[in-house]
């Protein structure tokens, strides 16, 4: 039981390991998919048989693969290499049922834990060598994928569906409320699971021919990094040299719609940064909703401007969101000189030396 | 005295390298030999070899995500910290390690 506690204590590390391996799939899949739709120019999936349809297909492949990759590397973080196959297969099974990201996270955790304990089973030396080749992959996959297929897959799928239906219901009632929710969700974990839930809804909207939701999202995803970059320019005294460097990188990442650009700031100072980017993200998203900004692709940042209807409103919305983020975070942050003083008082007691 | 470290972070583009730079700077200020490996999104750079680790008196590892081949450091004094903390507090981590190394000599 102690080991299980240990695994759960490191949940954040396991999830982040999975996310770190997933990010290139999201970026490659998302950009190529968006590119095919943008070049096609009709705001829809390109017609079959054209090279653009093939490009679209390549992008979709990246998106489909990120689910098993996320789960596989969550399990990898828990149970090392042996965890990858059971969790990835289980996540794929869950995804076919509609369990999506939630399913992938669960499959990763369960697969990791199952394999972790399978590896603990003491066996006779003669069959020791077949454990990693046969027993662990087969039994591990059977348990983990079976759990998704016959256990939690369907409930999670309906949870995801309900969430989507609820979000869709909102969009007719009050687009502004929806914009606030999307803005908050996309900024909250900067490209993490919560952001991706909102993003999954955006992909779904584009598929349904709803373009105001992706318009809102196109602003929401780029406000956190651009806002933080802007903040480093507005109040250089409140940021270290490294942060200013990261700020310039963040603006670039925001321009191409990668919310992760804000992570360095948020990880260094979550209490001040995350609320700021959430409020800024919501402000930008609401502005986009009020200007009725429409986007033909499920991506964000300045890079999608060819696919935007209401380009002026789009730019104003980004400026509003980034401005709110920057002003709020700078109002909360103290100058670097005061920060360092505080740090040196709270010495390194929390960093304990262990023998590895 | 020699300190080695490995840094990694979820997106592997900024934090990894900022933390590595912070460790390098903190060690250089105290004239400590230092080598830091980065496991960013483009992969492993500045790989720590067996010899590097054998000579090292202490190890700093980030704990945001899994460090690959962490078993290389078996038996070494290790400090594990979040990359964000390393960036902000590398000098105090190094200070702590120096005290530890001197106390065991």
B45-87: pLDDT as tens digits? 999 999 999 999 999 999 988 899 999 999 999 999 988 889 8
Q: Is the CB of B64 less than 8 angstroms away from the CB of A16?
A: yes
Q: Do A24 and B41 touch (CB under 8 A)?
A: yes
Contacts of B92 in chain A (CB under 8 A): 343-344, 347-348, 351
Q: Which two tokens stand for residue B13?
A: 């583009």
How far does B23 lie from chain A, in Å, by closest CA?
A: 13
Task: Name which of A232, A353, A354, A355 to mutate to probe chain B: the one with the most chain B Cβ atoms within 10 A of its Cβ.
Answer: A353
CB spacing of A348 vs B95 below 8 angstroms: yes
What is residue A44's predicted lDDT score, i.e. its pLDDT?
Answer: 65
* CB < 8 Å to B63, chain A: 13
What is the pLDDT averaged over residues A205-234? 89
Q: Which pair of structure tokens corresponds to residue B10?
A: 């979820």
**Residue A355 DSSP label:** E
Could you write out the DSSP letters of every residue in B43-97?
EEESPPPHHHHHH-SEEEEE-SSPPTTGGGGTTSEEEEE-HHHHHHHHHHHHHHH
Residues of chain A positioned with their CB less than 8 A from the CB of B39: none
Extract the tokens encoding A239.
């940021």
Q: Which of B5, B7, B9, B11 to mutate to test the interface with A (most CBs of A within 10 A)?
A: B11
pLDDT bucket at A339, cuts 50 / 70 / 90: low
Domain boundaries, chain B: 2-104
The whole-number pLDDT of residue A230 equals 96
Q: What is the 3-state secondary structure (H, E, C) of A106-135?
A: HHHHHHHHHHHHHCCCCCCHHHHCHHHHHH
Q: Do A16 and B83 touch (CB under 8 A)?
A: no
Reported CATH class of domain B2-104: alpha beta
Smallest Cβ distance to B65: which of A20, A269, A352?
Answer: A20
Question: Mind listing the pLDDT tens digit for each residue in A171-219?
Answer: 555 789 889 999 999 998 787 667 877 877 787 677 666 788 899 999 9
Interface pTM, i.e. ipTM: 0.75
Query: Number of A:B CB contacts under 8 A?
Result: 99
Contact partners, residue A136, CB within 8 Å, separation at least 6: A82, A86, A115, A118, A119
Across the interface, do B14 and A249 touch by the CB < 8 Å criterion?
yes
Average pLDDT of chain A?
A: 85
Give the angle subtended at the CA of A133 by the CAs of A94 and A148, to the nearest 5°: 15
Residues pairing with A353 in the sheet: B79
- Please list the alpha-helical segments (H only) found in chain A: 2-9, 11-40, 51-79, 84-96, 100-118, 125-128, 130, 136-146, 153-173, 175-188, 193-208, 212-220, 223-234, 241-255, 263-268, 270-290, 311-332, 336-345
**Hey, are the CB atoms on B22 and A268 less than 8 Å from each other?**
no
**Four-residue CA torsion sign, B93, B99, B100, B105:** positive
Please report the pLDDT score of residue A307 as a whole number: 80
Nearest to B88 among A261, A343, A356 (CB): A343
* Residue B41 to chain A, least CA–CA distance (Å): 8
- In terms of CA atoms, which chain B residue is nearest residue A189? B10
Q: Mind telling me how many Å the CA of B68 is from chain A's nearest CA?
A: 10
Has residue B102 got a pLDDT over 80? yes
Q: Mind telling me the catalytic residues of B?
A: 9
Instruction: With CA atoms as reference, report the closest residue to A307 among A22, A36, A9.
Output: A36
Contact between A219 and A317 under an 8 Å Cβ cutoff? The reply is yes
Q: Order of strands across the sheet with B33-40?
A: A353-355, B77-81, B58-62, B2-7, B33-40, B43-45
């Amino acid at each position: 039981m102690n080991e299980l506690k240990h695994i759960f204590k490191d949940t954040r590390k396991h999830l982040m390991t999975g996310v770190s391996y997933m990010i290139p799939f999201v970026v490659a899949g998302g950009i190529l998919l968006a590119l095919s739709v943008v070049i096609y120019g009709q705001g829809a999936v390109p017609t079959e048989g054209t090279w653009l349809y093939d490009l679209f297909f390549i992008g979709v492949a990246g998106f489909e693969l990120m689910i098993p990759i996320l789960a596989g590397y969550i399990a990898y973080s828990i149970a090392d290499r042996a965890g990858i196959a059971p969790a990835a297969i289980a996540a794929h099974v869950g995804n076919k049922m509609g369990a999506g990201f939630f399913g992938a996270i669960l499959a990763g955790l369960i697969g990791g834990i199952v394999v972790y304990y399978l590896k603990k089973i003491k066996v006779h030396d003669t069959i020791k060598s077949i454990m990693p080749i046969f027993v662990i992959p087969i039994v591990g996959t059977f348990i983990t994928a079976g759990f998704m297929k016959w256990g939690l897959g369907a409930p999670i799928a309906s949870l995801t569906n309900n969430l989507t239906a609820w979000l869709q219901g909102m969009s007719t009632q009050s687009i502004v409320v929806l914009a606030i929710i999307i803005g908050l969700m996309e900024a909250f974990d900067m490209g993490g699971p919560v952001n991706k839930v909102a993003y999954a809804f955006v992909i779904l909207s584009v598929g349904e021919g709803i373009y105001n939701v992706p318009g809102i999202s196109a602003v929401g995803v780029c406000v956190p990094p651009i806002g933080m970059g802007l903040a480093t320019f507005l109040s250089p005294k409140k940021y270290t040299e490294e942060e200013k460097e990261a700020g310039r990188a963040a603006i670039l990442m925001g321009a191409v719609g990668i919310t992760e650009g804000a992570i360095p700031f948020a990880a260094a100072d979550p209490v001040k940064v995350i609320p700021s980017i959430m409020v800024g993200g919501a402000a930008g998203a609401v502005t986009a909703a009020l200007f009725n900004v429409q986007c033909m692709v499920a991506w964000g940042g300045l890079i999608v401007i060819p696919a935007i209807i209401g380009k002026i409103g789009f730019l104003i919305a980004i400026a509003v969101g980034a401005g709110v983020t920057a002003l709020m975070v700078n109002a909360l942050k103290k100058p670097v000189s005061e920060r360092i003083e505080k740090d040196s008082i709270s010495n390194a007691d929390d960093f304990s030396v262990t023998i590895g | 005295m020699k300190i080695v470290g490995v840094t990694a972070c979820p997106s592997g583009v900024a934090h990894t390298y900022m933390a590595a730079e912070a460790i390098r700077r903190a060690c250089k200020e105290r004239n400590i030999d230092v080598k830091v490996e980065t496991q960013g999104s483009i992969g492993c750079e500045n790989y720590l070899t067996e010899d590097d680790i054998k000579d090292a008196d202490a190890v700093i590892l980030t704990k945001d995500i899994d460090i690959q081949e962490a078993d290389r450091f078996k038996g070494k004094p290790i400090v594990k910290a979040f990359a964000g903390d390393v960036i902000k507090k590398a000098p105090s981590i190094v200070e702590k390690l120096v005290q530890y190394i001197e106390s065991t000599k």
